Structure 1
Amino acid sequence: MGISSFLGVVRSVVIYYNPVLMHRNQRLYSGLVQKGDLVFDVGAHVGTRARVLRRLGARVIAFEPQPVFARFLRWTLPRSVTLVEAALGQTESRAQMAVSRRHPTVSSLRDSLPDEARAMPGFEHVRWDGRAEVAVTTLDAMIARHGRPDYIKIDVEGYEAEVLSGLTQPVSLVSFEYLPGLPAPSAAVIDRLCALGAYTFNVVRGENAGFEWTDWQDAEALRAWLADQAPDSGSGDVYARLEPAPAATGAGPSQAA
């Protein structure tokens, strides 16, 4: 591991292994995830959310394609968390990831991200100075292997829609990162989720781990809210909850007397 990669890992550990932040996430997830639920943590990074979810009694499958972070997770995650050293996408393949050694949280399989980020506030000092060939699998393949998850958390720096393109069935709860300066990926994710099922949405700004709205909103309300966010307002997470199918109404067929 080079010095830049080492410093990148240390930086992420310092940022995310924050007891206050982890407590906030645990409080949020305790209202969303039940003991025994199956969770896919897509983009596990240093594993803080995987740890919180496992602490709540969930069965966690953590996906991390970056070799340096996969190695860190092999050493540090509880043995009860299953680690899959792969990215998720539309098909099973191999792909080239653009890596930022000093800011590894923004490493991505989205080829256009380094160019797009030049105009995004907060990315002025980020450089994608490395490449990594990573394995890619699909959500459908992982469901066939591990079971249908109750919750899929996705944080993959603009590649979220591609992750969901490998899913052909709705799941109860999905969350994905939104970047106000990069609206197209969020729009594509919303479209994909609406094609899979009847979802309502809520938002968590940044790392505050509290929902923006008391009542969950439809896709149009979410789109309008995202369009109103200034490019420098900071990222956050969108949560999509699958609504139950409406009960059948009306009387059954009449019977002759």
Structure 2
Amino acid sequence: MLLDPREWTQLELIQFGVTEPATTALFERLLGSGDIAIDVGSHVGTLSLLAAHSVGAQGHVYAIDPQPHNCHLVLTNSAASGFGNITTICAAVGQEDGFITLQHQSDQDRARLSLANIGPNDQPYPFVVPLVSVDDLAIRYEMPRIRLLKIDVEGYELAVLEGCKASLSRVDNVIVEVLPESGAAFAAQLARILSAAGFKFSSVTGEAWSPGQALTENNLWASR
């Protein structure tokens, strides 16, 4: 992978090879040949590349990130790895389709661009990207079954889930970030949406979870 040591998350990848080992291991367990995975908030493509390797030429990965710099690295790293089974989508994901204005980030931190909150490194230089829903993507790319939907969008996860209610019946597994600072009401609403769609809850290491409990690596695993 081409990685930029100026950014702290990429520096961790250079130093340790992985930033979320339990979540990474779960990705490897869940995905197999021919599967479809959607990586919402793909950053520079670490998990998208792992997914592309796991699903093989018969499967496909959709790597989605609103930060153009991150998408450039996903494309660069896909090409360096010879993965033609990754579609990189430079867009934000939410409840409906449209456009959204975001703020440029510093070179030290392009991993925490947020549609829900003021980003810790927002700069006064706006840019506009498309806003898409998972429901629209599932129709546009004719996804019959989605083996894994991963959502890591810095507090905007509820809007992403609201935009995939029609396609959740096609999803086998969801890995979604639940930050402690998002609060109890956020976790409870997230659980209600996923529970209504027939999912049960665990941490990424397999322990049963209910709203209010801590999560390994702040990631919830919802499965059928």
Task: Tell me whether 1:60 sits opposite 2:61 in the alignment.
Answer: yes
Letter in 1 for 2:99: R
* Distance in 2, Cα, partners of 1:20 & 1:43: 16
Give the superposition deviation at 1:94.
0.4
* CA gap 1:177/1:20 in 2 versus in 1, 3 angstroms: closer
Match of 2:191 in 1: 190
Instruction: Supply the distance in 1 between the matched residues of 2:136 and 2:53 (Cα, whole angstroms).
Output: 26
CA-CA distance at 1:106 after TM superposition: 1.2
Structure 2-normalised TM-score?
0.80
| 1:21 Cα deviation from its structure 2 partner | 4.8
Any conservation in 2 of the 1:26–1:56 contact (CA below 8 Å)? no
Q: How many residues align?
A: 206
Query: 2:50, 2:146 → 1: CA distance?
Result: 17
Partner of 1:178: 178
1:16 aligns with 13
Residue 94 of structure 2: aligned partner: 89
Alpha-carbon distance between aligned partners in 1 of 2:147 and 2:94, rounded to the nearest angstrom: 19
Q: What corresponds to 1:37 in structure 2?
A: 35
Question: Higher strand fraction: Structure 1 or Structure 2?
Answer: 2
Deviation at 1:140, TM superposition (A): 0.9
CA offset at residue 103 of structure 1? 2.0
Instruction: Give me the whole-angstrom Cα distance separating, in 2, the residues matched to 1:71 and 1:20.
Output: 20
Return the match for 2:111 from 93, 101, 105: 105
Q: 2: distance between equivalents of 1:23 and 1:223?
A: 23
The one-letter code of the counterpart of 2:222 is A
Q: Which position in structure 2 is the counterpart of 1:203?
A: 203
SS in 2 for 1:96: strand
1:161 aligns with 158
Is the 2:96–2:163 contact (alpha carbons within 8 Å) kept by the matching residues of 1? yes
Change (3 A) 1:176 1:23: closer
Larger Rg: 1
Match of 1:207 in 2: none
Q: Which runs of 5+ in 1 are unaligned?
A: 1-5, 118-125, 205-210, 243-257
Of 114, 117, 123, which aligns to 1:129? 123
- Which string of whole-angstrom CA distances, capped at 9 and with x for unpartnered residues, describes residues 213-237 of structure 1? 1xxx3xxx511314xx8xxxx9510
| Letter matched to residue 76 of structure 1 | N
AA partner of residue 123 (structure 2): D
Asked if the contact 2:149/2:174 (under 8 Å) is kept, the reply is: yes
Q: Displacement, 1:152?
A: 0.3
Q: Residue 4 of structure 2 contacts residue 10 of structure 2 at CA under 8 Å; is this kept in 1? A: no
Deviation at 1:12, TM superposition (A): 3.2
Residue type matched to 1:240 in 2? A
Q: SS of the counterpart of 2:44? A: coil
CA contact (8 A) 2:95 2:161 kept: yes
% same residue: 25
SS in structure 1 at match of 2:111: helix
Which deviates further from its counterpart, 88-97 or 74-83?
A: 74-83
What pairs up with 1:214-225 in 2 under 5 angstroms? 217=208, 221-225=209-213
Is the partner of 1:185 in helix, strand or coil? helix
Using the alignment, how far apart are the partners of 2:160 and 2:203 within structure 1? 20
Partner-residue secondary structure (3-state), 1:151:
strand
* TM-score calculated relative to the size of structure 1: 0.71
The aligned residue for residue 139 of structure 2 is: 144
Secondary structure at the residue paired with 1:95? strand
